[in-house]
Amino acid sequence: MLTTVRVKGGVIYYELLKPNETITGERYRTQLMRLSRALREKRPQYEQRHEKVILQHDNARPHVAKPVKTYLETLKWEVLPHPPYSPDIAPSDYYLFRSMAHGLANQQFRSYEDISKWLDSWIASKDEHFYRDGIRALPERWEKVVASDGQYFE
């Protein structure tokens, strides 16, 4: 399982879970702590300009666990509401992972470390425009979701 957090300029934080690892509320809270630290280190202008962070995550149980909600309140991040499983509006599903799937075609990995190295390389190969385009496509994508009245589309 891959957890990614992006801003319009690129990936700020990602974590690749090892086989048989799962996300729990506590694990997700730890990821948010690491994300907050990475954001301060990689994008110090957010704190300097007092810009708020807007987080969109789905309603999976770990994401709505009490320790997570409490931690997000301390960060004062805005959490966008997200309908139950809706891949049409999740940028990771329709943009990032679709592109990644093309890169994974015909790849064979022998170890977790090989996967991790490939992932590091793939993320680094994408320029700022790649990530910016994915974020900028959100409003149009959301409008399509509303217009489709919940029906899936490509």
List, for residues 55-79, the tens digit of each pLDDT value.
878 777 888 899 999 999 998 888 8
The pLDDT score that the predictor gives to residue 32 is 92
Q: What is the DSSP letter of 59?
A: -
pTM of the model: 0.72
Write out the residue range of the structural domain in which residue 38 sits. 2-147
Q: Is residue 29 part of a domain?
A: yes
Please give the helix or strand (H or E) that residue 25 lies within, else none: helix 25-42
For residue range 83-125, list pLDDT tens digits in order.
665 655 665 666 778 888 888 988 999 999 999 999 999 988 9
Cα dist from 82 to 1, 58, 89, whole Å: 20, 5, 9
Check if the beta carbon of residue 53 is closer than 8 Å to that of residue 8: no
The CATH number for 60's domain is 3.30.420.10
Q: Is residue 76 part of a domain?
A: yes
Check if the beta carbon of residue 16 is closer than 8 Å to that of residue 115: yes
Q: Is residue 43 part of a domain?
A: yes
Question: 46-53: long-range contacts (C-beta < 8 A, 24 or more apart)?
Answer: 52/76, 52/77, 52/78, 53/77, 53/78
Q: Is residue 153 part of a domain?
A: no
For residue range 119-140, list pLDDT tens digits in order.
999 988 988 888 888 778 777 7
Count structural domains, the chain.
Answer: 1
Q: Is residue 70 part of a domain?
A: yes
Tokens 């990602």, residue located: 14
Q: Is residue 54 part of a domain?
A: yes
Q: Is residue 28 part of a domain?
A: yes
